[in-house]
């Protein structure tokens, strides 16, 4: 990933320097401005100056909770950021990719995923231990109360690849993605590696007590594997459910090659650390080289980026606000180039509707040129979260990795909307 960043930096510097020779730019133009390729849509910046925003959840039509990576849960009420956090979690450890990472709300409880230092386990001394934890809370209208520990998960040895997004599915079960934290066990497809250890997985659990959902794919696999829905995942910053089929799709990150979007059927093995991207692009590896937990299956991604860009969130727009062309379509974002991607699924909703695209019908973006075929917007700095709002519009949290996680809450709305500020239209 650092290579990508460095290259982008050089290109950007060269472009800016060259521009200054030809045309003097205003100081504002040195910084990328978010823009969309489709004039029927417009961008509205709702709130600027956010601090490392990682995830958001809508409580109702007027209230949004979002997370600051360092440990604050903040409330936006009627479009106004409230000055005091609704919850400050002192014990959040936010080194590298750890922190307060995921939030979900199911109309009953609020669920948070965070890295906790000095985590206590009942009856066990864990002084100084760092763990990833999922808690549920009650929302009383102004604060989060009654924390209940649902999941106690590893956070070591890697301080990167923690995963952290979580969501309640259409089946009312709680889904949680956990990264591989640089482990090399059976869940990372090392056949002789340590047994399942809650890393590199999507968990599917009962939201009341964190126990395995009764019809999980590996219920026969014992206490640990019983909670898994999928494994072989290097890291993920987002997943969503197709509103038409109820099926889970995730976004996954490669090291320097192959970010992925996957259709995650129950028992999915994504292939890491043997495979990233389509298996045919990984020399000498076959499905028989992977760890096959009974009930599992390997599948290629439905789309990949040949060069890793840190693709983060994926969101089905379950709304008709942007017209039928975007309804139930797939948005994705990345953290390094701040691009917003858009895909229409195929008619069967089993993959991307790119069969007739001469460059992308292999379902791999092999170059920047090919990427333009699925690029809807640019200049978002970095994207950490995408969600459909109760108003049917698309909400985006931006996150500038080069600038201490400085971010904004943006909203994409139809250009015809009365909310569009005419002065910001071109």
Q: Which residues bind Ca ion (CB under 5 A)?
A: 240, 270-271, 313, 316, 318, 362, 364, 366, 387-388
Strands, sheet with 406-414, edge to edge from the N-terminal-most edge strand: 41-51, 406-414, 394-398, 383-388
CB of 387 to Ca ion, least distance (A): 5
Cβ proximity to Ca ion, 189 vs 336, nearer residue = 189
Residue 149: how many other CB atoms lie within 10 Å: 16
Q: Minimum distance between the CB of residue 333 and Ca ion, rounded to whole angstroms?
A: 9
Using the minimum distance from each CB to Ca ion, give the nearer residue, 73 or 119: 73
Q: How far is the CB of 137 from Ca ion (least distance, A)?
A: 19
Exposure letters 11-35 (e unless 16+ CB within 10 A, then b): eeeeeeeeeeeeeeeeeeeeeeebe
Residues whose CB falls within 8 Å of the CB of residue 210, separated by 6 or more in sequence, listed in order: 134, 149, 150, 151, 174
CB of 91 to Ca ion, least distance (A): 25
Q: Which residue is nearest to Ca ion (CB)?
A: 270
Closer residue to Ca ion in complex, CB, 119/343:
343
Q: How far is the CB of 35 from Ca ion (least distance, A)?
A: 22
Return all residues near 317 (Cβ < 8 A) that are at least 6 apart. Answer: 326, 327, 328, 329, 330, 331, 388, 394
For the record, the structure tokens of 308 come out as 């890793």
Contact 424, 61 (CB under 8 A): no
Closer residue to Ca ion (CB): 70 or 366: 366
- Compare residues 56 and 89 and give the one whose CB is closer to Ca ion: 56
CA distance between the termini of the chain = 34
Min dist CB 397 to Ca ion, Å, is: 9
H or E element, residue 5: helix 2-22
- Count other C-beta atoms under 10 Å from residue 233's C-beta: 30
d(CA 423, CA 426): 8
Smallest separation (angstroms) from Ca ion to the CB of 370: 5
- CB 263, min distance to Ca ion, A: 11
- CA distances from residue 70 to 38, 89, 114 in whole angstroms, order as listed: 35, 8, 9
Q: What are phi and psi of 421, to 5 degrees?
A: -80, 115
Smaller CB separation from Ca ion, 101 or 203: 101
Residue 198: closest CA among 185, 208, 209: 185
Instruction: Tell me whether residue 265 or residue 366 sits nearer to Ca ion (CB atom).
Output: 366
In this complex, which beta carbon is closest to Ca ion, that of residue 246 or of residue 294?
246
- Counting every residue written for the chain, the total comes to 426
Pick 75 or 104: Cβ nearer Ca ion: 104
| Residue 237 vs residues 39, 54, 261, 374: alpha-carbon distances, Å | 29, 9, 11, 19
CA distance 7 to 2: 9
- Report, in Å, the least distance between residue 69 CB and Ca ion: 16
Beta partners for 377?
Answer: 36, 340
Q: How far, CA to CA in Å, does 228 sit from each of 68, 224, 299?
A: 28, 8, 17
CB count, 10 Å around CB of 145? 12
Shortest Cβ 195–Ca ion spacing (Å): 21
Nearer residue to Ca ion within complex by CB, 129 or 362: 362
In the complex, the smallest distance separating the C-beta of residue 389 from Ca ion, rounded to whole angstroms, is 10
* CB nearer to Ca ion: pick between 224 and 366: 366
């Amino acid at each position: 990933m650092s290579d990508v960043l460095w290259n982008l930096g050089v290109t950007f510097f060269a472009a800016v320097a060259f521009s200054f020779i030809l045309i003097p730019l205003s100081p504002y133009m040195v910084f990328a401005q978010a823009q969309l390729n489709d004039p029927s849509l417009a961008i509205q910046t709702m709130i600027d100056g956010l601090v490392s925003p990682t995830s958001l959840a809508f409580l109702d039509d007027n209230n949004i909770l979002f997370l600051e990576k360092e440990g604050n849960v903040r409330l936006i009420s009627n479009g106004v950021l409230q000055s005091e956090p609704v919850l400050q979690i002192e014990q959040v450890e936010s080194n590298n990719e750890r922190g307060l990472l995921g939030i979900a709300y199911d109309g009953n409880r609020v669920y948070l995923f965070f890295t906790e230092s000095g985590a206590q386990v009942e009856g066990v001394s864990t002084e100084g231990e760092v763990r990833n934890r999922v808690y549920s809370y009650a929302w009383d209208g102004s604060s989060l109360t009654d924390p209940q520990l649902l999941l106690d998960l590893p956070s070591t040895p890697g301080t990167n690849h923690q995963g952290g997004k979580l969501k309640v599915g259409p089946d009312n079960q709680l889904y949680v993605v956990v990264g591989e934290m640089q482990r090399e066990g059976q869940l990372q497809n090392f056949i002789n590696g340590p047994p399942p250890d809650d890393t590199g997985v999507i968990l599917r659990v009962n939201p009341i007590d964190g126990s395995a959902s009764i019809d999980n794919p590996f219920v026969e696999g014992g206490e640990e594997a019983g909670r898994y829905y999928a494994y072989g995942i290097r890291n993920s910053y987002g997943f969503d459910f197709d509103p038409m089929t109820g099926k889970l799709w995730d976004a996954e990150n490669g090291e320097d090659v192959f970010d992925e979007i996957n259709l995650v059927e129950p028992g999915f093995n994504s292939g890491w650390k043997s495979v990233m991207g389509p298996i045919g692009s990984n020399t000498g590896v076959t499905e028989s080289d992977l760890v096959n937990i009974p009930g599992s299956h390997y599948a290629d991604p439905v789309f990949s980026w040949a060069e890793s860009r840190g693709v983060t969130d994926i969101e089905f727009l379950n709304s008709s606000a942007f017209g039928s062309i975007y309804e139930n379509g797939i948005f994705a974002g990345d953290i390094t180039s701040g691009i917003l991607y858009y895909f229409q699924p195929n008619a069967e909703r089993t993959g991307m509707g790119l069969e007739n695209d001469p460059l992308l019908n292999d379902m791999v973006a092999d170059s920047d040129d090919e990427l333009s075929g699925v690029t809807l917007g640019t200049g978002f700095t970095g994207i950490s979260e995408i969600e459909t709002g109760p108003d049917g519009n698309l909400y985006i949290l931006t996150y500038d990795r080069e600038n201490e996680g400085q971010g904004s809450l943006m909203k994409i709305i139809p250009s015809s909307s009365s909310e569009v500020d005419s002065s910001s239209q071109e």
